[in-house]
Structure 1
């Protein structure tokens, strides 16, 4: 029987001996990697800190030692989610499974149910799940329309305070780019961004509002020192390329703040020259790209009676080869845009590896769910190192191949040097909300 490595809670000084970790996720000089990109290390925990991280050795320190074969990973960073929509699928089913069906179902549910208590309860449930799975930071997008803007941002603010020290939260507004030209809307959004964070964004699509809308958002973000986060080109139409407009606008405004752009699905379907030109613009503009492989495989190229012909994801390999930071994230969970998911970044990594071919070697791509999203969100360097907080996961797998092959492998989540209670919240906790009892 495979069991997780689990130090007793009372231990405040202990070692993990000869444990494997992707070399790109640690700050250890002279680390030697195997064919998968893993290196063997010894890790010492003293109280809530990693006191020592070094290449594995044969000495036996004067402290408790755990020497079972295992895989060491930093805590996950989930850079693109929708906590305000989560878990509404039972009362807002998208029976067609299409993007258009989701766009119809969500507004109906929002108008009928998204009170402060409803949004708050679903957020807390989602965060309890993410924490138990080993995630320590999340950025969520919040639908911004009329009074819902304040309701959802205030629920987010309360959740951020309640989960501080467990899951660090950021928020970005979500609205169609044409609303960027609406003064009343932008005053409301600007007030919430100023109060609850420093990230501004929108959904981009072709049309007369695209360029003036982008110009206004870039000017506002530049004046305020805010970050930018866009949804772009979530379509299988190769004629849609707002990503290039975002990149060109960033260059024209000489914007030097962080920009994260999500989805970019149509980029994979462009003619080679247009894809290359767009990727070059993205690289020059310093943009990071987040792909949402689970949601986009679910939604894209879905037509009745026909098997999908493509995977729905963006050109991740080409972007990475051009020096563009690429990452993957959960996106939607149990809502009309994606009927499944649990904010489990291990699941996202495993399935993303299969969907996007993040393998041979695995280790080259390990940063997509740890270090790269941390950098994109402006968080501290996520690499494990001596002196950093003792926040990490331990899995009883001797290789990334074993980790990827068995989703049911137990994991130990260490936060502040202590193994947390990783019991997932039962779905019955949502039964109090209207329409969510089975």
Structure 2
């Protein structure tokens, strides 16, 4: 096939303008619709070469394929996942669909089942799905209290080595922040540093929260670790953990990247209060990750009552204020979210619907590509430009309406310019673990 060639052109490719580096050089021959630029892309030795406005050349120096205005995206970046929890739904379903039900169910399952083999196989299954769908980089949170931290980080390190040529993997410790006030918490910070991971945890409202946050920053600064928090995953307007973390970032003069996920309560706070927090988040340089699918599933769930809010944070307001906002998949087929398939396109598709990321689409494609890549410190990932690796996802869809209306199961994924196998792993692979 053409994609096995070392040198070829993709003709008539529609690329989101915000993902095309140096896009101002290419004057479109027709006014772009939905900020899509139609270009011709040269790929040589696995690297993107020349990019020109479609039709600039009447002939090409290498074989070419006409994409017929099909969309081309860079590979996806999924920066907030829980691969260690994934795919346990069949053996551990959430009894009532609530956050509390999920937490209790996961804690029970982990104590009974989460040995090295169990965690390895379920995490590997998630990686197979992600890779086949066109994801290039993943950050996963790992439940890390007590002996589980050692088990899961060792499994992660093994998978990171085995998949190094296919996926960029990062790991974040996950405990409640009070854990870092204990000797076990300090040992966990040492383990995270040893593993090259990111220090993280769940911030929840309690009398000692400021002390817990301060200690977490101290541990991170001493070990030169990045920080990634779960914050305000609830519908309580009094939950203001994000505000306190922003204050702490400034107080500690912390220079590393801080990321906060969820931030749901921001959406139910008075507008002036939310605006003050958003301004502080901007000043602190914090990145925000919204998880629309999981939070739509969990938040405002009460028996026999229709939910009346969507569970997502103030995505539009944060972005308007200049705060980097990413969107990620979060949990997959576990008690926190009973669905999902590690597909970056599904994440974007659902986010567009849930959070109204359309009309105009503008640079919203960045939330599952370039922006999370930047928050993960990956300057060469999640964008399309000359000199970058040809890690691309090709769709037949010619517009956002077409892209987001069908499954796009027939997408073509290129890694280093070569077409990869996109057959998804069979669920039966995990049957002996789940039944």
Q: TM-score, normalised by structure 2?
A: 0.96
Please tell me whether residue 26 in structure 1 is matched to residue 24 in structure 2: no
Q: Is the 2:106–2:335 Cα contact (8 Å) retained in structure 1?
A: yes
Among candidates 45, 48, 54, match of residue 46 of structure 2: 48
- Distance in 1 between residues matched to 2:4 and 2:246, nearest whole Å: 51
SS of structure 2 residue aligned to 1:342: coil
C-alpha contact (below 8 Å) 1:198/1:225 kept by paired residues: no
Deviation at 1:217, TM superposition (A): 1.2
Corresponding residue for 1:74? 74
Aligned to 1:186, the other structure's residue is in SS state helix
Separation in 2, partners of 1:209, 1:162: 41
Q: CA deviation at 1:13?
A: 1.1
CA contact (8 A) 1:14 1:64 kept: yes
Q: Is residue 403–residue 409 contact of structure 1 (8 Å, CA) maintained in 2?
A: no
When the two chains are superposed, the root-mean-square deviation of aligned CA atoms in Å is: 1.2
**Which residue matches 2:266?**
267
Offset of 1:191 from its aligned partner?
A: 2.6
Query: 2:15 matched to 1:12?
Result: no
Per the alignment, residue 387 of structure 1 pairs with 387
Give me the whole-angstrom Cα distance separating, in 2, the residues matched to 1:30 and 1:12. Answer: 26
Equivalent positions of 1:47-196 (< 5 A) are 47-56=45-54, 57-69=56-68, 70-187=70-187, 189-196=188-195
Deviations 1:232-265 (A, max 9, x none): 0000111111000000000111111101100000
Quote the residue 1:3 is aligned against: none
Q: Secondary structure of 1:432's match?
A: helix
8 Å Cα contact 1:265-1:312 kept in structure 2: yes
The 1-side partners of 2:431 and 2:405 are apart by: 34
8 Å contact kept, 2:291–2:330: yes
Q: Distance in 1 between matches of 2:123 and 2:288?
A: 25
The offset of 1:226, in angstroms, is 1.3
- Counterpart-to-counterpart distance in 2, 1:225 and 1:347: 35
User: Corresponding residue for 2:237?
Assistant: 238
For 1:20 and 1:375, the matched residues in 2 are separated by 23
The superposition leaves residues 16-73 of structure 1 with CA deviations (integer Å, 9 ceiling, x where unpaired) of 1121000110113334462301111110111211122222224210211111321010
Partner of 1:423: 423
- Is 1:257 equivalent to 2:261 in the alignment? no
What does the per-residue CA deviation read over 1:203-225, in whole Å, with 9 as the maximum and x for residues that have no partner?
Answer: 00111221111111112222222
In the TM superposition, what are the counterparts of 1:212-361 in structure 2 within 5 Å?
Answer: 212-361=211-360
> Residue 110 of structure 2 aligns to a residue in which SS?
helix
Instruction: Give the unaligned 5+ runs of structure 1.
Output: 1-6
Structure 2: gaps (5+ residues)? none
* SS across alignment from 1:201: strand
The aligned counterpart of 1:367 is: 366
Aligned partner of residue 423 in structure 1, secondary structure:
coil
What is the number of residues matched between the two proteins?
Answer: 428
